[in-house]
């Protein structure tokens, strides 16, 4: 593995892990009042575009990290709509 791929995988892991506390909090409390619906809509769309970009570049770090992150983001978005 070259250093560029390592940096990409590390960056992707860190930004993906950053979502976990919010996902865990939303799952436990079923409360999303303080979360912004427009922000999570825009964020989910942006992450989806990152996945497409990663596919065009054939970049596993971009594809993998953003695929996991979009799942977290969409989960929070669904919970926001359901419990908001």
**DSSP H or E stretch at residue 27:** helix 20-29
Name the band, by pLDDT with cuts 50, 70 and 90, for residue 84: confident
- Report CA-CA distances (Å) from 46 to 41, 43, 79: 9, 5, 19
CATH 1.20.1280.290 fits 3-83, yes or no: yes
pLDDT digits (tens, 9 = 90+) for 26-62: 999 999 999 999 999 999 999 999 999 999 999 999 9
Q: Where are the domains of the chain?
A: 3-83
pTM, to two decimals: 0.87
pLDDT computed for residue 83 by the predictor:
85
Q: Per the structure block, which two tokens stand in for 37?
A: 């619906």
Residue 43: name the closest of 10, 1, 84, 15 by CA: 15
* Rounded-to-integer distance, Cα 58 and Cα 42, Å: 24
């Amino acid at each position: 593995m070259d250093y560029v791929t390592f940096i990409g995988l590390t960056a992707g892991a860190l930004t993906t892990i950053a979502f976990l506390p919010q996902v865990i909090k939303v799952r436990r409390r079923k409360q999303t009042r303080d979360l912004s619906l427009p922000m999570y809509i825009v964020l989910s769309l942006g992450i989806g575009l990152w996945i497409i970009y990663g596919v065009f570049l054939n970049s596993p770090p971009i594809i993998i990290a953003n695929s996991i992150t979009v799942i977290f983001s969409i989960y929070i978005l669904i919970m926001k709509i359901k419990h908001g």
